[in-house]
Amino acid sequence: MKMLINVAETVVADALRGMAAAHPELAVDVENRVITRADAPVAGKVALVSGGGSGHEPLHGGFVGPGMLSAACPGEVFTSPVPDQMVRAAAAVDSGAGVLFVVKNYTGDVLNFDMAAELAEDEGIQVAKVLVNDDVAVTDSLYTAGRRGTGATLFVEKLAGAAAEEGMPLERVEAIARQVNENARSFGVALSACSTPAKGSPTFDLPAGELELGVGIHGEPGRERRAMMTSREIADYAVDVILQDLDPHDPVLVLVNGMGATPLLELYGFNAEVQRVLGERGVPVARTLVGNYVTSLDMAGASVTLCRVDEELLRLWDAPVRTAGLRWGM
């Protein structure tokens, strides 16, 4: 596989150096692998800290900024960051109002964020944690006990981030983050495997003419493999699986997310089919976001995330945000 890198060993550090050069509004500590808002800590504001393995960009570093995260901790590719990174990030952004850790449900992330929370509290930082586990494809996977954390992470970080930006206290910001996670479900489909820089070749075998239904963002197996389907058929399958687990009595936010190698031409076409299915099922759509947000390196494919919203959550979604990966209203 051809990759636009120097060597696999420096790919994360090189990316962080490039991010620092492109975004002076961020403070990027390349050596310690911590990305923070340059204006952090913000007096009186709850800080949001998240992180995870690299390779899912713009998640999480691309979501640092006003209206979303205060800091992000990038690990090596598909590898959890370490507790020292998280503690350093929490200390850098804590204003005394407390810190909310947003944790995707992968075993390494959960263990390391738990340890970091204990260490941060030993340093006098008030910490709350929210676990994101929105993927309805499988219950357990190679990296996870329980459901995986995927596209709903964006919704949690945006909505809780807006709440924090408004000056809500830690308990309320945490409650909103939990509400969002409980109201969100995701399902992903892979058309091709991804290739990590270290391996330099596909991480799993997906024969030509087949797709993986319910794939994870690290290439974990899903529910089943089938012969290639049309966009219409994939949308029918994915949305139906989500709606079997989510009773949308309220309007929903829709995220049609690319896995990294699927062009917008295809994603918008897929979104048309997702919207068709939701219309046929009588599900009202409040807002829609289409693009590559929670990716898996160069995997071709897409995921769908639906999140029920009430008036408050919709207001928080529409609130201004200014990050490298998501911005409006500013």
Query: Which residue of the set 23, 56, 60, 249 is catalytic?
Result: 56
CB 296 within 8 A of CB 310: no
Q: How many CA atoms lie within 13 A of 18 on its CB side?
A: 8
Distance of CA 217 to the CA centre of its chain: 10
Residue 110: strand, helix, or coil: helix
Cα(58)–Cα(63) distance, integer angstroms: 7
Backbone angles phi, psi at 48, to 5 degrees: -110, 130
Catalytic residue at 60? no
- Strand 321-322 to 285-291 pairing: unpaired
Q: Count CB neighbours of 312 within 10 A.
A: 12
What is the distance between the alpha carbons of residues 325 and 71, in angstroms, rounded to a whole number? 14
Q: How far is CA 171 from CA 46, 97, 261, in A?
A: 10, 10, 39
CB 149 within 8 A of CB 177: no
Q: For residue 86, how many C-alpha atoms fall within 13 Å in the half-sphere facing its CB?
A: 34
Q: What are phi and psi of 272, to 5 degrees?
A: -60, -40
Main-chain phi, psi angles of 187, to 5 degrees: -150, 130
CB 305 within 8 A of CB 151: yes
Return the axis-axis angle of helices 83-93 and 107-122, rounded to nearest 10°. 50
Q: Which one from 23, 60, 218, 249 is the annotated catalytic residue?
A: 218
Active site residue 218: yes
Q: Checking DSSP bridges between strand 47-54 and strand 99-104, what pairing results, if any?
A: parallel
Yes or no: say if 94 and 125 are a contact pair by the CB < 8 Å rule. yes
Active-site residues: which are they?
56, 218
